[in-house]
Structure 1
């Protein structure tokens, strides 16, 4: 999910001192602002759909659209399974989201946001929700070329938190006009109402991590092609209902994920 903010570019126009001394009647043109917004369209294909260490599907098409204006970002991310669908999982998934980046200084920013997960075709009889809502709060800290992002989420439908830490850095490849972007993430979550329409409530908890690298290739002034690879692993993932023994979530596993994206910025 998603930090593509553009800074405003201002064109300044000024009247020369000589013109003022000459008391000419000409008026300096008003400053012209370049719009401080952008629209980013990103169709992506993934070899596996993994979410917090849990496999939710096989090869999938994952398009997204994001509108950025100053510190605001508003978008929609979606998932459409292409094959090897997981029974009961929604086809499609459509997730509107938004965030606001409060910049403290050159190295520190705070980002509150939310994601509204929507699963219109989820199998409710199997305990799948058709919608959940998850606010979040992230802190971005950059030091010595590294970017660290601790982030906390709370899902008001699943009734539980997720805590996550991401570290990222880039290695320039100047001779090739690109770079290698490395990212690592570790997280844990605990939900107390993980299944819909159940009594007693079903608890679900688990840990996960992932490590990956991506490489962008600029193909036009407003377009780039991105190839990415990641390994993601879920473990210590269990379900438990009432006094019944806990059962392992078999969808939590280790998977290799290849991602192909085309990023268009308008």
Structure 2
């Protein structure tokens, strides 16, 4: 789903985008992309303001031209934010930095992290994965040390009917993907990235969910099938997003 990431409502999780020691070049590239997006957001706002002024002055042609220019800046803003989110996600989840059952959302805006996590959950469920560790950060580098991503991840779990538990360092959440209760012996203590012994999962990136066919287990007696549970959860997510847009 396409959405705007303006400087007014986009919130990055933490002031430090990387979860590991990263090269200065990588830091600079990430900041470059986000700064370009902020510039385009500022240009868009200026164009829309001028468009409104032109319309109020009776210059419809100028108002229309400025409105179109504002839309172009908005499209560029989304493009740069998308490039930045893909770059940071790729860096933080590269081979050797995250285990097969772990997804790291550091450095993403909340809405970006939400979309990627939803895709990751669907992909994992379609491949029979029973759990997922989600790195959300502890909010140490956020304003007032308030965790912004963790509440959204917990909300996603509730709306999808998934059980979850905060792990020992409070910066990671363990999610059960099959709807069953969390077994505490499987909730890892934070010591780098961990996974269950012998567990293997196909490689994944945010585009996989759109490319791979989904296969769900048949419904058990007295239970909804996996496909129906996912569909119900996604419908609930859509309704809540629409409500947030209307109330915002």
Same fold (TM over 0.5): no
Which structure is higher in RCO with an 8 Å CA cutoff and minimum separation 6? 2
Greater radius of gyration (CA):
1
Q: Which has the higher strand share?
A: 1
Q: Which has the higher helix share?
A: 2
